[in-house]
Amino acid sequence: MTRTPVMSLNSVEGEEDPLLQVGPVGEQQVDRTTSSVLARMRAVLHTIEAEEVQATVAIPHDKEEYFDDKPPAWFSFKKLWAFTGPGFLMSIAYLDPGNLESDLQAGAAAGYSLLWVLWWATVMGLLLQLLAARLGVVTGKHLAQICREEYPKEATWLLWLMTELAIIGSDIQEVIGSAIAVNILSKGTIPLWGGVLITAADTFTFLLLEGYGVRKLEALFGVLITTMAVTFGVEYIIAEPNQADVMLGLVVPTLSSSTIQQAVGMVGAVIMPHNIYLHSALVQSRDVKRDSDVQLKEANKYFAIESAIALLLSFIINLFVVSVFAVGFYGTPEADDIGLHNAGEYLQKQYGDFALYIWAIGLLAAGQSSTMTGTYAGQFVMQGFLDLKIARWKRVLLTRTIAILPAVVVALTATDFLDSLDQWLNVLQAVQLPFALVPVLLFTNSSAIMGKFSNPLIVQLVTWVLGLGVIAINIYSIIQAFEVLPQTWWLFAIFVFGGILYFAFIIFLIVFVYHAKLRRLLHCLGRPFGCCQAGPDDGQPEEAQKVTSGYERT
């Protein structure tokens, strides 16, 4: 029987497929062909595996693609959603227990008349937060890192100390606020000191959640903010404030001598120093090419929109709290005594048990969320200023311990001191604010650091006026706080001497950046004679060249 040649897809017409040939020669051809096919398959598999590895490296776990090759649209909800997260984490500092106490005291003491102060304080806070976000996006570094590069080691350590004090002070407020909420929700079963310990311990859940990715962490904070919005919104509905009075307080600025203290406290509570450091770090959770102007502009735009939405929501929540206490307590004998520790009790008398527990849930959400962001800020501050990387659980344990000790002491001794402690902690925040405000203004105004994204002249003028205004308001609050202390000569001397050192350091932070020659002179004054001989490169002393900041090198 004659075999009919069979054509293969790879064979030429008139030739038989070597794979189908029989005999010794055909068998050898089959072996060679099989080996060739297997070799090609191995090469293809190797190529695929290499491509998969490259893809894995290019797109890290829990990262999203934020940009494409298409020309950017004027606006994209998809991109806005991709960049949503850092601004809402930042906004939690505007809703912490310290802010809530400032809100309720302003409402009880001044009614609706300070709502315009709350609005413009939030607007000022937004402008400063946008500067911090732009700094992080454009440079790829957060504010603490840039401070370490720009200032000498001694100044960096002092800045770190000041910022850590601000974080610890804020932490104490948040722990006490959460402890009050736990005490209310347990119907007094858990004492205040027990609530302090529980609040400190449950912060470790933050560590567990962060391991699952930044988007899940942002989702948790979204839930906590929603909880505050719902609970305080329900309180607003129960209180039924006069909407015309609310609008009047928003649009008509009024300020009397009796409400200045509440207005100053409201501004000081809204703008917090560690939050500026935090925001400059949070924006780096999104991948942006620093050499692409298009991507930098897109990132700055969507981060600005997201931050504005987040702070608008925080303003509405604060407005709810001010209005509730304005309706229930403005002009009453209780207005002078109301504070965070007894606010729930007064709400219960005025509106019933439901209002009490709704308030406690909102207060607990505020305390827990702000405690977590404070821990997050502490991590970035320590790494940035000191270039010191320690396990986060050690960092949390250290800060929790420092924050718990004074809170437990107050909780065990007398609850009447809680509001006094909170007021002094607000003073501490006011003292520390320039050490975040001055660097972020200096660095975002610098074309050497920001390039073409540095602030235009008009923005520089506006931000410096706002910044100096905020600092002046805080200094006023500091002076007010010290007026209640005993008027002794030694206390006055300490206050004056401390004030001189305080302002000298602020001036140094400004002068060091703007005046390189003075910087070199100060360096030489601290070195042996002869160190200031001209170096071979640019006329600077050889030793001085080693300490030249990143700002000057650029």
**Angle, vertex CA 144, rays to CA 141 and CA 145, nearest 5:** 45
- Cβ atoms 134, 444 nearer than 8 A: yes
pLDDT at 551: 39
- To 5 degrees, how large is the angle CA 466–CA 469–CA 471? 110
Give the pLDDT of residue 549: 42
| Neighbour count for residue 6 (Cβ, 10 Å) | 10
**pLDDT value, residue 87:** 92
Q: How many angstroms separate the CA atoms of 168 and 178, rounded?
A: 15
* Burial classification of residue 526, based on how many CB atoms lie within 10 Å of its CB (0-12 exposed, 13-18 middle, 19 or more buried): exposed
Q: What is the fold of 87-455? A: Amino acid/polyamine transporter I (1.20.1740)
- Phi/psi region, residue 527 (left: phi>0; alpha: psi -120 to 50; beta: rest), is beta
Looking from the CA of 205 toward its CB, the CA atoms found within 13 Å total 11
Residue 255 φ/ψ, nearest 5 degrees: -150, 125
pLDDT (tens place) for every residue of the chain, 554 residues total:
444 343 433 444 444 444 444 444 444 544 554 555 455 555 544 443 443 333 333 323 345 556 655 666 778 888 899 899 899 999 999 998 888 988 998 999 889 999 999 999 999 999 999 999 999 999 999 999 999 998 999 999 999 999 988 888 888 888 888 889 999 999 888 888 888 888 777 766 666 676 677 788 888 889 999 999 999 999 999 999 999 999 999 998 888 877 887 888 788 788 888 999 999 999 988 888 888 888 899 999 999 999 999 999 999 999 999 999 999 888 888 887 888 888 888 888 888 889 899 999 999 999 888 888 887 888 888 888 988 767 767 776 776 676 667 767 776 775 666 666 777 777 788 788 889 999 999 999 988 889 899 999 998 998 889 888 888 877 777 777 777 777 788 888 888 888 889 889 998 988 887 765 455 555 656 555 444 444 434 444 333 333 334 433 44
User: Mutual orientation of helices 260-270 and 457-483 as an angle, nearest 10°?
Assistant: 120
Task: Tell me how far apart the alpha carbons of residues 279 and 270 are, in angstroms, rounded to a whole number.
Answer: 15
Beta strand spans in 247-361 (E): none
**Given this model, what pLDDT does residue 294 score?**
87
Match 């890290």 to its residue by tokens.
Answer: 60
- In this prediction, residue 167 carries a pLDDT of 86
Write the burial class of residue 240 (CB in 10 Å: 0-12 exposed, 13-18 middle, 19+ buried): exposed
Residue with tokens 């407005």: 319
CA gap 18, 11 in Å, rounded: 9
